[in-house]
Amino acid sequence: MPAQGNTEQVEIVVENVTMRFRRAKDEASSLKELLLRKLRGEHRYEMFTALDNISFCVEKGEVVGIIGTNGSGKSTLLKIISGALIPTRGQVFVDRRKVQLLTLGTGFDPELTGRENVYLNGAMIGYTKKYIDEKFEDIVRFAELEGFMEEKVRNYSSGMVSRLGFAIATARDTPEILILDEVLSVGDMFFRKKSEARIREMIHGGSTVLIVSHSTSTIRQNCTKVIWIEKGRLMGSGDPGQICGAYEKLKGG
């Protein structure tokens, strides 16, 4: 790990990370047009830079908020840190055995029941069957879905799916490094309060935490430092009040 401050206290180092994706240019407006372009060899692509030379470090026990408008690369950055994506350039130094990434809305099969999806989604984020067996009733109770677990998920409302996803994602004991990708805005007002309380317990349990949220009030209340990424570029990092204030000024303008 590069020497940056007290290395014993540094938990995460993001060093000159750039992420570029190839995406279709002038997307086809119909399946017929797509097939014709393919047959004629007329596919055109462009390179999109999701992250542009991002560098920062996170010390042990810090609670770091990551802010930026939609499409600025926040979720891409979290996936790189957690190991789900490999950057085009640059490096991340972190012990990924310590990392738990909580993100909602992935891994659900609408044709399976709620019960089956608990085991499927839990397995996807690393839970053993034994662990899910032990936590199953707690998950159902927290999600407020008693009596619905034998129903197919396609019959659930979006709020029910969100509640179940949140309950599964937060069932694990507090990890050493906790990464939260927009998980503080699920369900109705009453469930949101309950989910925020659950996350606060995890945050104040001694973890190093990264939070992506569009709510600057949530960031201000919970974070010790803020990193602002705008359209893939690092705009600033530091005091939550100052960085959130500059971000709000930009949005307001």
Determine the Cα–Cα distance for residues 214 and 71; give it in Å rounded to an integer.
12
| Residues 98, 126: Cα–Cα separation, whole Å | 12
pLDDT tens digit at each of 253 positions of the chain:
444 445 568 999 999 999 999 866 656 566 766 677 667 766 666 788 999 999 999 999 999 999 999 999 999 999 999 898 999 999 999 998 888 887 766 668 999 999 999 999 888 878 899 999 999 999 999 999 999 999 999 999 988 988 898 899 888 877 789 888 877 666 677 787 888 788 788 777 888 999 998 889 889 988 999 999 999 999 999 999 999 999 999 887 5
Instruction: Specify the pTM.
Output: 0.75
Yes or no: say if 97 and 17 are a contact pair by the CB < 8 Å rule. no
Task: Return d(Cα 137, Cα 121) in angstroms, integer.
Answer: 15
